């Protein structure tokens, strides 16, 4: 149990955001990206109106698309038909940002023959450059006409920026005797930090769940998945997690907490946790995923704070890159975590598919074989296990190593 959520692994299925019934998707290159092989504009639409829940960046600088998405969901009472998204330009910190974001919705709605308020919008890319609307306008008919029930990969490609791999997942689960599906796509990969990231995350499901429970489940899950992700400690201006439920699975709407809600929420945790791991593993320049688990914490927030503190430490990240079992840096990062606990009870182990090494007991180092540790750290998924031994709460956080390529990618991103 993390944050009251039962961790379960569900049946993995194909289809990403199109795995759930009644969702069509498309993506194409409209010219924002000069690489014509890379999509830069995506559209995902449900056949029927969806209940929607969303979580946004906590940054004071909020991208214009977020302002427009919020306004549209407010206008429709939390319902939407779908979203349009672009990469290459964040449409943020521009005087005409809201106007352009509204225009994107209007263009999509026009091509679909629906109300602009029934579409929401997301943008990712460079901040502070005027978004040219012409390329989008010129391709909107083609984009809408090409929507298909298996177009998920085209849309997933459209939202990628410095991502090196496409991030999609889908699972099947049963609610009220009906088989339901939930799928998601996400993009990273720099400027990712607790309380969101330059991540765009879109989750679709055909389960019928009341809007209130959708938002509750999303908030519970985000706290222990996306918000426990850190690639570089920067919190972006455009982060959005959007969950859309269209009810086409045919289950009786879940309107109260109970077993069905628990199953739905566990499925959401499974989807979002797996997307979070993908985002961490594909952090800018990353060669290794780092998963840090903190158990034995006095409360959930302490567990999260400790796990995140370790995940975001540049020195820990460099040590993992160098396959160096420098546990002193881990203890140091635990030590500056802003939570209330005693450091001299703390145990730390490191593990991977290649083995597990105890490195710290009761806040002090223990002898271990450097050779064995180095062999273990040669894996591409590294686990840091922290036991505070002062409570029952636990949490996980995800991140990646800090490498030369991170510096290369971010030293000259705009040009």
Residue 27 CB, shortest distance to a second copy, in Å, is: 25
* Widest pairwise Cα distance in the chain: 68
With left for phi above 0 and alpha for psi between -120 and 50, is residue 187 left, alpha or beta? beta
Q: Is 334 in the site for a second copy (CB under 8 A)?
A: yes
Q: Is 237 in the site for a second copy (CB under 8 A)?
A: yes
Compute the distance between CA of residue 13 and CA of residue 4 in angstroms, rounded to an integer. 26
Compute the distance between CA of residue 154 and CA of residue 280 in angstroms, rounded to an integer. 22
Q: Please identify, using beta-carbon distances, which residue of 11 and 342 lies nearer to a second copy.
A: 342
CB 331 within 8 A of CB 360: yes
Q: Nearest to residue 15, comparing CAs of 154, 136, 169, 138?
A: 169
Compute the distance between CA of residue 113 and CA of residue 147 in angstroms, rounded to an integer. 14
Q: Is 324 in the site for a second copy (CB under 8 A)?
A: yes
Q: Is 34 in the site for a second copy (CB under 8 A)?
A: no
Q: Is 378 in the site for a second copy (CB under 8 A)?
A: no
Q: Is 408 in the site for a second copy (CB under 8 A)?
A: yes
Give the residue, chosen from 1, 60, 177, 256, that forms a contact with a second copy under the rule CB under 8 A. 60
As a whole number of Å, the CA-based R_g of the chain is: 21
Q: Is 333 in the site for a second copy (CB under 8 A)?
A: yes
Residue 191 CB, shortest distance to a second copy, in Å, is: 6
Compute the distance between CA of residue 189 and CA of residue 236 in angstroms, rounded to an integer. 11
Q: Which residues are known to be catalytic?
A: 198
Give the residue, chosen from 31, 176, 298, 363, that forms a contact with a second copy under the rule CB under 8 A. 363
Q: Please identify, using beta-carbon distances, which residue of 94 and 266 lies nearer to a second copy.
A: 94
Q: Is 369 in the site for a second copy (CB under 8 A)?
A: no
Residue 369 CB, shortest distance to a second copy, in Å, is: 14
Q: Is 226 in the site for a second copy (CB under 8 A)?
A: no
Question: What b/e string do you get for 76-114 counting C-beta neighbours within 10 Å, with b at 16 or more?
Answer: bebbbbbbbbbbbbbbbebeebbebbbbbbbbbbebbee
Q: Give the contact letters, 86-115, x = binds to a second copy (CB under 8 A), - = no.
A: ----x-xxxx--------------------
Site for a second copy, rule CB under 8 A: 58-61, 90, 92-95, 126-129, 190-191, 232-237, 312-315, 318-319, 321-322, 324, 326-329, 331-337, 341-343, 360, 363-365, 402-404, 406-415
């Amino acid at each position: 149990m993390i944050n009251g959520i039962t961790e379960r692994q569900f049946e993995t299925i194909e289809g990403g955001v199109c795995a759930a019934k009644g969702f069509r998707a498309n993506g194409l290159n409209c010219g924002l990206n000069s690489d014509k092989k890379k999509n830069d504009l995506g559209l995902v639409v449900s056949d029927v109106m969806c209940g929607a829940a969303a979580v946004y960046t906590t940054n004071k600088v909020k991208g214009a698309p977020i302002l427009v998405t919020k306004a549209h969901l407010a206008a429709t009472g939390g319902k939407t038909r779908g979203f349009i998204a672009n990469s290459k330009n964040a449409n943020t910190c521009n005087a005409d940002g809201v106007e352009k974001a509204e225009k994107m919705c209007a263009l999509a709605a026009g091509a679909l023959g629906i109300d602009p308020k029934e579409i929401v919008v997301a943008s990712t890319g460079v901040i502070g450059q005027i978004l040219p609307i012409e390329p989008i306008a010129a391709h909107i008919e083609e984009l809408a006409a090409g929507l298909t029930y298996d177009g998920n990969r085209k849309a997933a490609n459209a939202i990628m920026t410095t991502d090196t791999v496409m991030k999609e997942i889908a699972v099947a689960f049963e609610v009220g005797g009906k088989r339901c599906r939930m799928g998601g796509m996400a993009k990273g990969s720099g400027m990712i930090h607790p309380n969101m990231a330059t991540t765009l995350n879109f989750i679709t499901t055909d389960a019928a769940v009341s809007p209130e429970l959708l938002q509750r489940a999303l908030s519970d899950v985000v706290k222990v998945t996306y918000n426990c992700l850190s690639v570089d400690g920067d919190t972006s201006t455009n982060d959005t997690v959007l969950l859309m439920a269209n009810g086409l699975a045919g289950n009786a709407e879940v309107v109260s907490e109970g077993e069905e809600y628990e199953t739905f929420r566990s499925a959401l945790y499974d989807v979002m946790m797996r997307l979070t791991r993908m985002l961490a593993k594909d952090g800018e320049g990353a060669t290794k995923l780092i998963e840090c688990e903190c158990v034995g914490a006095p409360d959930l927030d302490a567990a999260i704070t400790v796990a995140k503190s370790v995940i975001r430490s540049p020195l820990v990240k460099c040590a993992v890159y160098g396959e160096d079992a420098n546990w002193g840096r881990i203890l140091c990062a635990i030590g500056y975590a802003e939570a209330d606990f005693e450091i001299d009870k703390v145990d730390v182990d490191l593990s991977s598919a290649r083995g597990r090494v105890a490195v710290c007991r009761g806040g002090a180092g223990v002898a271990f074989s450097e050779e064995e540790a180095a062999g273990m750290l040669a894996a591409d998924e590294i686990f840091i296990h922290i036991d505070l031994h002062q409570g029952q709460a636990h949490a996980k956080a995800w991140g990646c190593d800090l490498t030369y390529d991170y510096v290369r990618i971010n030293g000259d991103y705009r040009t």
